[in-house]
């Protein structure tokens, strides 16, 4: 059985990323494009989501793409662009890492490292990322049980890095109407099993931008610790995941609906 | 393709059950035991959930049990008991029907007929229930796509009965940590496809009473039209589904948390 | 726990349908159209599959269709047509029943009653069918565990009818490349749990006629007790399930490939 | 869409590993322990499976374990032990690689590199393994569609390495009776989509040694290109996957049953 990840081992962990805190009873919003595409794109997105109240900036630059013919991301250049956008807006930023050799640059310039669903059981990467000491956003694989996710977290914790935030991003389902099945019940059950913070990724979970706002509200109402959503200045032009990205205006509306809900549930702003 | 069930056919349907309305922008709560066990049990539950603000009373009396050795319900007697409890509290009530010959008694004494997940494609039962003219609560089968659920609704609508409320009660998943996977994303997508109201059943979806409150709050925040939850005066003694029933106090707490959330989202009380 | 269905209760059951035996170490083939469409169609199919070595004839006449707009079958007329075709060829025949009132006619004219996947937990139908005393072909629902299937069988066995043949016809999966997932491992595990015969339905399991022959050979090689496959004189014109039906010639080829395989494994002809 | 992996691009590929050929119409058996544990263990297994007619030897040494507390394999030492056992018996051998830095040693000493289910979309590893020029055994992830598997193969093919054998090893299912669901229908459909050979891994697919023999027979009868099975001299003492390993005698029996079946289907010995 996993030990360090278990709620029986210790009380709730609060993970700090810059001034942002996950697991302190608040609901932190991470927003940004699927992929960093250009300085303008990431800069405009960062400015807009910061204005709307996002706590952190996301953006992929090493992209794990099902097809080798799909846009693979800007690589190292993207790291510098998201770091600059974070700097300018004051938002801590998170990007996904796929290979160990990417850790040197990313851990120097970004504030949190994401291990994506496809790499949840890439144990070498987990351990190497752990050793950077940076906070880690660990996504649940589409076919992982909660146990398997917590064992993956255990690989990180065992290396002495306790700054792990877990993320439910959809499990494999049988209905093509949504890209995956957003397992909110599983995410809540996870919080009964572990002291680590748990956030939601409704963008990847559903693949439909129209479902992002209601699912973020649901995640907040249910007591998760935050959400990560895809936002793009012009979703129709996005180089990946166009169907699930919110535009800047829609993100603003979402934040405006979220605020009174948080207040009603006494979730700190 | 389904036609009558499609949102392209008509604007949002409001289903009335007594004075309760599903689909008018509110969030209606149906509560009660898995099974009607006795006059005392259903009476005490009805009184408590009415006091706490439930809109309707639920209780099974013809029970579809996986095992033939499990409690099969009180049958016709149970119908009279739930009807009496509804009468005394002023709550409209809903019970599940399994066979066509049960329709005469149930449609006379209860206010809404439930077609359960196992019978979602029992087309003869759908049509016979439709012809009673009573409002119907149609649950999604654990392996049904949204299309299949809407086609099942179409069988009812084609018989001229437009009072159909759909219910997401969990789809089959691979993780034993929860009994099923509560597909909130699917329920929301459903509301983009159909004009019929959609409610949530987090009790059956998760099989864990501790997850019911947060998922009801989530369903309300996300914009579903209501929820149906299992409540029992003494869950430890319940003759079925003990692990997922709220006790009366827990149901009261849930309603107390739901009220300010609804207010914050401007959902009518 | 189920008792009567358990292998711990009794040794292997042999179910006889006319002169056909399921569970005696042989591999019995049931073949015929998805739906009985006309006297010519069922007659021509019956003659061809009998010639090719089929043991039984199948054909649906009360059709459980996802859509109310799809062909619903010939009903009572179809029963008489398949019975006549069986009579002429000497093949016992099986057809699906959906509602209790269909049992009088079907149990008089056909040799085996099928309870389909959608009705696996339609317990009233199970019990009523059991009481006819006819052999029953019980299909596993697309989301049923083996336990749930065996409990469904238990409902039949408890009524004193021991002539139950179980059928794996595909479980719900996530890949649209096949209609369902043919769970051969589950079917084999089933034979470790129960004394009842188990057959395969690769037509419904995959929805692709090109996969039927190899999966029948696989089922025979693995030690299942038979298979049920869809055969139509002109699949392109079939009124349902056209994509998964074999034409008469393809069925003949299948039987020709099956014979030496059975011989090599010492399965009785 | 994938291109190089598509059957529309080229005719069937035959992958040679030493003198073993996958995809030439034969059925090649790979056998050996889950993990290389000692010189004695791998040596005894290799000798026995060679005698019984296996074509290749398998054995894990870098083990991807769900739990960090489970046996992680012998690492580099294991590579030398399996290579020596292969050398002594004349069996080409295959072992799994998890990280890029393991490629230098493994590609020097073993004949085929396995990319396991957890790393199917570890694209960096796929590309690095491809560049060694060694034949690659690519396993389908438990939640991968056939398209996703073929796209993963495409990453390898694009690096100029055409020696890819695909392997179905079970997809995630809902029934705990088997560890995974052996998707034989999917494996057969795969052969309609790609020119690459496809083999079966019934050990991981079911997690039950009693189901391995019938599923190997099924895979051969259905026309797959081979199978990979776990064999251990003393399964009860195995350091991993004890429940699914065949002992040496059971493997001999399997090969004895396979031979006449292959003969009957005219599969070359």
> What CA–CA distances, in Å, run from B78 to B61, B73, B74, C122, D211?
5, 8, 5, 20, 46
Residues of chain A whose beta carbon is less than 8 angstroms from a beta carbon of chain C are: 172-174, 176
Task: For residues C167 and A6, give the distance between their C-alpha atoms in angstroms, rounded to a whole number.
Answer: 42
- Whether B93 and B59 have beta carbons less than 8 Å apart is answered as yes
The pair of structure tokens assigned to A16 is 């700090």
Do D121 and A68 lie within an 8 Å CB cutoff?
no
Task: For residues B148 and B1, give the distance between their C-alpha atoms in angstroms, rounded to a whole number.
Answer: 10
How many beta carbons lie within 10 A of that of residue A180, not counting itself? Answer: 22
Q: How many CA atoms lie within 13 A of A231 on its CB side?
A: 30
Residue B258 predicted with pLDDT over 80: yes
Do C178 and D189 lie within an 8 Å CB cutoff?
yes
What are the φ/ψ torsions at residue A135 (nearest 5 degrees)? -60, 145
pLDDT in tens, chain C (269 residues): 999 999 998 999 999 999 999 999 999 999 999 999 999 999 999 999 999 999 999 999 999 999 999 999 999 999 999 999 999 999 999 999 999 999 999 999 999 999 999 999 999 999 999 999 999 999 999 999 999 999 999 999 999 999 999 999 999 999 999 999 999 999 999 999 999 999 999 999 999 999 999 999 999 999 999 999 999 999 999 998 889 999 999 999 999 999 999 999 999 87
Res D268: pLDDT: 87
Contacts B172 to D, Cβ<8 Å: 174
Residues of chain D whose beta carbon is less than 8 angstroms from a beta carbon of chain B are: 172-174, 176
What are the φ/ψ torsions at residue D144 (nearest 5 degrees)? -90, 140
Q: What is the DSSP string of chain D?
A: ---TTBTTTSSPP-EEETTEEESSS--EEEEE-SB---HHHHHHHHHHHHHHT-SEEE-BSS---SSTTS----THHHHHHHHHHHHHHT--EEEE--SGGGHHHHHHH-SEEEEPGGGTT-HHHHHHHHHT---EEEEPPTT--HHHHHHHHHHHHTTT---EEEEE--B--S-TTSSSB-BHHHHHHHHHHBSS-EEE-HHHHH--GGGHHHHHHHHHHHT-SEEEEEB-S-GGG-SS-GGG-B-HHHHHHHHHHHHHHHHHTT---
Q: Which residue of C has its CA nearest to A174?
A: C174
Task: For residues A11 and A23, give the distance between their C-alpha atoms in angstroms, rounded to a whole number.
Answer: 11
How many Å separate Cα D154 from the centre of its chain?
Answer: 19
Do D219 and C217 lie within an 8 Å CB cutoff?
no
Contacts B206 to A, Cβ<8 Å: 185, 189
For an interface test with C, the pick among A141, A142, A174, A175 (most C C-beta atoms closer than 10 Å) comes out as A174
Share of chain A above pLDDT 70, in %: 100
Task: For residues D202 and D161, give the distance between their C-alpha atoms in angstroms, rounded to a whole number.
Answer: 27
CATH code assigned at B39 = 3.20.20.70
Contacts C222 to D, Cβ<8 Å: 214-215, 217-218, 221
Task: For residue C183, give the nearest of D181, D221, D222 by CB distance.
Answer: D181
Task: For residue B176, give the nearest of D172, D173, D176 by CB distance.
Answer: D176
A198's enclosing H/E stretch is: strand A198-200
Task: For residues D117 and D143, give the distance between their C-alpha atoms in angstroms, rounded to a whole number.
Answer: 9
Do B121 and C66 lie within an 8 Å CB cutoff?
yes
Contacts A64 to D, Cβ<8 Å: 121, 123
Strands A20-22 and A15-17: antiparallel
Res D219: pLDDT: 98
Phi-psi region of A173 (alpha: psi -120 to 50; beta: other; left: phi over 0): beta
Whether D269 maps to a domain, the answer reads: no
Whether D120 maps to a domain, the answer reads: yes
Least Cα separation, residue C121 to chain B (angstroms): 6
Give me the count of residues in chain D.
269
Classified as helix, coil or strand, A187 is helix
Res C268: pLDDT: 87
In 3-state terms, chain B is what percent helix, strand and coil (to 5)?
Answer: 40, 20, 40
Whether D31 maps to a domain, the answer reads: yes
Cα distance between the two ends of chain B? 36
Do C68 and B119 lie within an 8 Å CB cutoff?
no
pLDDT-flagged residues of chain D (< 70): none
Q: How many CB pairs under 8 A join A and D?
A: 58
What domain range includes position B36?
27-64+72-245
Which of the four pLDDT bands, split at 50, 70 and 90, describes residue B241?
confident
Res B269: pLDDT: 75
For an interface test with A, the pick among C141, C174, C176 (most A C-beta atoms closer than 10 Å) comes out as C174
Classified as helix, coil or strand, B179 is coil
Res A33: pLDDT: 97
Whether A106 maps to a domain, the answer reads: yes
> What CA–CA distances, in Å, run from A101 to A137, B160, D101?
18, 65, 11
Q: Which residue of C has its CA nearest to A173?
A: C174
Q: Which residue of A has its CA nearest to B143?
A: A174
Task: For residues C254 and A167, give the distance between their C-alpha atoms in angstroms, rounded to a whole number.
Answer: 49
Whether A6 maps to a domain, the answer reads: no
Q: Per DSSP, which regions of B78-215 are E strands?
A: 93-96, 112-115, 136-139, 164-168, 198-200
Least Cα separation, residue D44 to chain C (angstroms): 29
* Residues paired with D216 in a beta bridge: none
What total number of domains does chain A contain?
Answer: 1
Task: For residue B68, give the nearest of C65, C143, C158 by CB distance.
Answer: C158
Q: What is the mean pLDDT of residues B57-84?
A: 96
Do B67 and C2 lie within an 8 Å CB cutoff?
yes
Do D122 and A118 lie within an 8 Å CB cutoff?
yes
Q: Which residue of A has its CA nearest to D156?
A: A68
Task: For residues A58 and A32, give the distance between their C-alpha atoms in angstroms, rounded to a whole number.
Answer: 5
Residue with tokens 């793409």: A65
Angle at Cα D166 formed by Cα D52 and Cα D7, nearest 5°?
125
Whether B250 maps to a domain, the answer reads: no
Whether B20 maps to a domain, the answer reads: no
Do A64 and D121 lie within an 8 Å CB cutoff?
yes
Q: Convert the pLDDT of each residue in B118-151 to its tens digit.
A: 999 999 999 999 999 999 999 999 999 999 999 9
The pair of structure tokens assigned to D43 is 């040596």
Do B177 and A171 lie within an 8 Å CB cutoff?
no
Contacts D174 to B, Cβ<8 Å: 172-174
Least Cα separation, residue A14 to chain D (angstroms): 24
Do A261 and B264 lie within an 8 Å CB cutoff?
yes
pTM across the whole model: 0.97
Q: Which chains border C (3 or more CB–CB pairs < 8 Å)?
A: A, B, D
Which of the four pLDDT bands, split at 50, 70 and 90, describes residue A56?
very high
Q: What is the mean pLDDT of residues B78-104?
A: 97
For an interface test with D, the pick among C141, C150, C185 (most D C-beta atoms closer than 10 Å) comes out as C185
Whether A4 maps to a domain, the answer reads: no
Q: Which chains border A (3 or more CB–CB pairs < 8 Å)?
A: B, C, D
Average pLDDT, chain B: 97
Q: Convert the pLDDT of each residue in B167-190 to its tens digit.
A: 999 999 999 999 999 999 999 999
Least Cα separation, residue B175 to chain D (angstroms): 7
Q: Which chains border D (3 or more CB–CB pairs < 8 Å)?
A: A, B, C
Task: For residues A180 and D46, give the distance between their C-alpha atoms in angstroms, rounded to a whole number.
Answer: 43
Share of chain A above pLDDT 90, in %: 97
Spell out the residues 6+ positions from residue D123 whose beta carbon is closer than 8 angstroms to its own. Answer: A64, A65, A68, A98, D152, D155
Do B181 and A177 lie within an 8 Å CB cutoff?
no
């Amino acid at each position: 059985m996993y030990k360090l990840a278990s709620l029986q081992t210790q009380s709730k962990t609060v993970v700090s990323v810059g001034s942002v805190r996950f697991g302190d009873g608040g609901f932190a919003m991470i927003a940004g494009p699927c992929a960093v595409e250009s300085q303008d794109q990431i800069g405009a997105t960062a400015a807009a989501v910061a204005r709307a109240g996002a706590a952190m900036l996301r953006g992929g630059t090493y992209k794990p793409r099902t097809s080798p013919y799909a846009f693979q991301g800007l690589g190292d250049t993207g790291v510098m662009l998201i770091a600059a956008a974070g700097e300018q807006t004051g938002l801590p930023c998170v990007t996904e890492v796929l290979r160990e050799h990417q850790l040197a640059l990313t851990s120097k310039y970004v504030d949190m490292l994401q291990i994506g669903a496809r790499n949840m059981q890439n144990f070498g990467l987990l351990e190497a990322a752990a050793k950077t000491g940076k906070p880690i956003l660990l996504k649940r694989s589409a076919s992982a049980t909660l146990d398997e996710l917590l064992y993956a977290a255990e690989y990180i914790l065992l290396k002495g890095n306790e700054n792990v935030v877990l993320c439910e991003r959809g499990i494999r389902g049988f209905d093509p109407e949504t890209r995956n099945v957003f397992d909110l019940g599983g995410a809540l059950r996870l919080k009964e099993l572990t002291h680590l913070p748990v956030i939601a990724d409704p963008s990847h979970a559903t693949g439909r931008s129209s479902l992002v706002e209601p699912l973020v509200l649901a995640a907040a109402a249910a007591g998760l610790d935050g959400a990560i959503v895809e936002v793009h200045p012009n979703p129709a032009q996005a180089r990946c995941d166009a169907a699930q990205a919110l535009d800047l205006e829609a993100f603003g509306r979402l934040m405006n609906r979220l605020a009174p809900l948080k207040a009603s549930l006494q979730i700190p702003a």
